[in-house]
Structure 1
Amino acid sequence: MKYVIVLGDGMADWPIEALDGRTPLEYASTPMMDELSKVSEIGLLHTIPEGMKPGSDTANLSVLGYDARKYYTGRSPLEALSIGVPMKATDIALRTNIVTISEDDVPFEEQMIIDHSSGEISTEDAAVLLNAVKEELQNETYQFYVGTSYRHLLIWDQGEVVDLVQPHDVLGQKIGPNLPKDDALRRMMIRSYEILKDHPLNQARKAAGKNPANCFWFWGAGTRPSLSSFEEKTGLKGSMISAVDLLKGIAVGAGMKNITVEGANGTLETNYEGKAQAAIDTLVKDGQDFVYVHVEAPDEMGHQGSIERKVKSIEYLDSRVIRPIKEGLDAAGVDYRMMVLPDHPTPIKVRTHTSDPVPYMLYDSTAPESHTWNYNEKEAKASGNYIAQGHEGLDHLLGRKTC
C-alpha cells in the first residue's frame, strides 16, 4: 500500500457573500474532488493544538503525525534545516520576510504594512536586496541567509526567543505597535527600510507597477529543533514535495527525502504538473511508501484577499495535482490511500490563519465507499467524522486508527 497526502495550504475558508454564501472550496469547479468525494470518507480534522497559534508550522507538523506541543520549537529553526544552516544550541533563528510598507511621508512607525510577500518577489530579486542590507548589518551576532521568494532567515547568536508579530496578521495596520520590543531587531528593521526604499531594484519594481520589497520583518523566533524519524515512527519511507522552506525543513528534521521540482515556487503559477509527476515517480519508481505534496498557492491568495485567485488555486490543485496523481497511480496498478486537506483555514475576510478544524477527504483505491456528499467545509462537518487531535490524522490515513 502506498500513501499520499495532497495539502492545499490555507485552502479552507468561511462563507463569502460574493460567492453566494459559499466558500472558495464550495464554489470552485473541482470535478476530480467531486468524483472522489462520492467514494471517500470526509470529515473534520483539528490541526492546531489547543492554545497554540494557527501557523503552517504547527499545522503541518500535526498533519505529518507530530504532536506540535511536544516537537515545536519555532518556525524559523525548521526553515534553517531546509537552508542547511547549522544551528548551535544557543542560536535563535528568526524568519526574515522582505515586506512592502507604504512609504508615506510620515515617521517609520506610522507606515502601514501593505504586502507580507512583496508581490511574491522572486528569490533572485530578494537575494539582491537581502545582500544589500546584509553588507551593512551582518556581524558575528547576526547572520543573514537567503531562503525562497520573500522568506529569509536571521540567526542570532546567544539570542533569546522574543515575542514577534507575524506580518500577515497585521496587513493594513500601522507598523509601530507591531515592531519588536528588542532594540537591536527594531533598529535593523528601520535601517533595512532606509537601505531598500531607494534601491535601484525597487525603483524598477515600482516603475513596473510592482510592490517594492522595502523592509525586513522579523518573526517566528525559535531554537534548534529535534524531530523523531518519520521512518522509525511509521515504518514508511517518506518524501516531501514543496517549494516552501518550512516544509522542506520539517522533512529534513524528520529524515524524509526532499524532492526538488523545477519551476515549483510557492505561487499561483507554480509547476503543478511537475509536483504531481514527482509524486507518482517517488512512489512507483523510487520505492518510497509515502509522499506529502504541499501546494502553497491557496494560502498566499488568502493572505492577498483575492477571492478569484484563491478559487483558481483550488481549481488548479484539483485538475493539475489531484487528478494526475490519481490517474498515474491507477495506471501503475498500485494500491494507495490518499488524503486531501488544508493545514489550516486562511479566510479571505481576515487574510490570516485561523484555528478552525479543516475538512479532509480520505480515498482508498482498494475499498471505495459509496456516498452522496461533496468535499467542502459544510459537508465535512455534517458527516459527523471528527479527529480532535491533528497528529492522529496520519494514523487514520495509514489505517491504524478510526474516527
Structure 2
Amino acid sequence: MSARKTVFLIADGMGDWPVDELGGKTPMEAADTPHMDVLAREGVVGLCRTIPEGMPPGSDIANMALLGCDPATHHTGRGPIEAAAQGLELEADDLVWRCNLVRVSSLEQDGVMLDYSAGHIDTPTATALVEMLQRELGGTDAVFHPGVQYRHLVVQPGRVKAAEAGLAIRPPHDILDQTLGPDLAAYQQCPELWRVVREAAVLLGNAERNASQANAVWLWGQGRPLHLPGFQERFGQAGAVISAVDLIKGLGRAMGMAVLDVPGATGYLDTNYAGKVAAALDFLEQGDFVFLHVEAPDECGHQGGLENKVRAIADFDAQVVGPIRDGLRGMDAAILVACDHFTPLIKRTHVSDPVPFLFWHLDATASGIPNFSETQAASTGLMLERGEALLPWALQRSAP
C-alpha cells in the first residue's frame, strides 16, 4: 500500500452519559479500549457537532455529516438513503419510506411499541414476509422492497399528495415502551397509507403465515430521492464504505464510492469484524480512503443493555481499531475515529450531544490525554461546530 491512506472508523451510538452502575463512568470509560487510548494520547482529540440545530439526531443525518456533506442542504429523509443503497430506480417525485418490521402490543391508539426490530428478525425470514406483503398489498399505493433484517423500504409513486411527505412519524427506536397514538393519528390523515399499515398488521398477525415476532410495519423517514456530491470529485480520493446497514451503503453509493459487502456483517455483536478489517485493508492496496462503520454499540444502546454496550465498545477497539492500526503500522497513514451520535442507555434513543473524535497521524501533535472518552475529548477545548467540517479538516492534516 502507498502512503497517505486514511481510515475513518465509526462506532455508531458509542457516546453515552455517566451510568450509576458503572460508578459514574460512561460505557466508553468503562470499556477496555487500549488501542483507541494510545491513538488518543498520540493524536488530536476533540468534539464535533454532527447534528445541525433543529434537525433530529439520527444516524442518517450524522453519518451524512461525517462523510463531509451538509445535512441541512442534502438530507431528504432516511428512506431515500437506503433506496440508494439498493440501487432502486426512482422518479424524481417518488416518496420513499423506511419500513421497519416491528412488534407492537396492538395497532391501536393505546398500543405500545415493544420492539423496533421484531426480535432482530433474521434476513431470510424478513425477506419472505416483505415479499408476502408485496404480493398481498403492493400496487399503485405502495411497493415493498426487502432489505436486511428488520430494515426495509416502501416506495409510493409520484402521484402521492404532499400530505404524505409531510407526515411526522417518529422513528420506532425513539418510542420504545411508548404509546402509538400520535403516529397512528398521522397515518390516518392519509387513507391510502393507513390502509397499507393496517392491512399489513392483519397479514403479519396471522400465525399460520408468520411465526416471527414481527406483527406490524412502521413507515417513517420518508423523502424524495437523494443526490449527493461525488466523493472523488470533491476530495480527489478513491473511497469506499463498509457497513452492515443500508444507510451507510446508500450514502456511499450516492457519493460514487465503492460499497464493499462483507459476508457475515450483521450490524450486531456477532458481526464479522475481521471481514470488515480485511476488506478495508484490501481496498487500500489501490484506494485512498475507507469509511468503516460498526452498528453494534447503537443497537445495544437502543436495547438498554449496559453489559452489551460496554462489550460492543471493547469489541470495536479490539477487533477493528487494533487490527486496522496493525495493518497500517509503519506507513504514512491516518486514522480517524468517532461515533456518529450518542445513544444513552438511560434514554434508549439518540441525542444531539457533540461527539468525541480522535485523529492520529505520524505527524500529529500529541494530545497527551490518558484515554479516549467523552470527558477527555471535551477537556481538550477543540470543538468543530459543523459535522461536515471534520472529514475535510482531517484530510487536510493528513495530506502530503
TM-score between both structures, scaled by the size of structure 1: 0.93
Tell me if structure 1 keeps the 8 A contact 2:369–2:376: no
Residue 294 of structure 2: aligned partner: 295
Gaps of 5+ in 1: 206-211
* CA-CA distance at 1:41 after TM superposition: 1.1
Residue 306 of structure 2: aligned partner: 307
Amino acid at match of 2:19: I
Using the alignment, how far apart are the partners of 1:244 and 1:337 within structure 2?
25
Using the alignment, how far apart are the partners of 2:310 and 2:369 within structure 1?
23
Using the alignment, how far apart are the partners of 2:252 and 2:261 within structure 1?
12
Residue 352 of structure 1: aligned partner: 349
Tell me if structure 2 keeps the 8 A contact 1:338–1:397: no
Q: Does 1:191 align with 2:199?
A: yes
Using the alignment, how far apart are the partners of 2:74 and 2:133 within structure 1?
33
Q: Tell which deviates more after alignment, 119-128 or 212-221.
A: 119-128
Using the alignment, how far apart are the partners of 1:248 and 1:7 within structure 2?
14
Amino acid at match of 1:162: G
Q: Does 1:182 align with 2:195?
A: no
* CA-CA distance at 1:254 after TM superposition: 0.1
- Of 55, 59, 65, the residue aligned with 2:68 is 65
Amino acid at match of 1:314: I
Residue 383 of structure 1: aligned partner: 380
Q: Give the alignment of 1:305-384 within 5 angstroms.
A: 305-330=304-329, 333-367=330-364, 369=366, 371-384=368-381
* CA-CA distance at 1:70 after TM superposition: 1.1
Amino acid at match of 2:243: S
Residue 134 of structure 1: aligned partner: 134
TM-score between both structures, scaled by the size of structure 2: 0.94
Using the alignment, how far apart are the partners of 1:270 and 1:165 within structure 2?
28
Using the alignment, how far apart are the partners of 1:192 and 1:349 within structure 2?
32
Provide the identity percentage.
41
Amino acid at match of 1:118: A
* CA-CA distance at 1:345 after TM superposition: 0.6
**Alpha-carbon deviations, 1:260-296, whole Å to 9, x = none?**
111001111100111111111111x2x1100000001
Secondary structure of the 2:42 match is coil
* CA-CA distance at 1:202 after TM superposition: 4.1
Using the alignment, how far apart are the partners of 1:227 and 1:256 within structure 2?
11
Amino acid at match of 1:175: L
Residue 58 of structure 2: aligned partner: 55
**Alpha-carbon deviations, 1:181-226, whole Å to 9, x = none?**
32222222221111112334643x4xxxxxx011100000000111
How well do the aligned residues superpose, as a CA RMSD in angstroms?
1.5
Secondary structure of the 2:351 match is coil
Tell me if structure 2 keeps the 8 A contact 1:237–1:289: yes
- Of 7, 17, 22, the residue aligned with 1:19 is 22
Gaps of 5+ in 2: none
Secondary structure of the 1:38 match is helix
Tell me if structure 2 keeps the 8 A contact 1:336–1:366: no
C-alpha spacing 1:395/1:189, structure 2 compared with 1 (3 Å): same
Q: Does 1:171 align with 2:172?
A: no
Residue 209 of structure 1: aligned partner: none
Using the alignment, how far apart are the partners of 2:370 and 2:78 within structure 1?
36
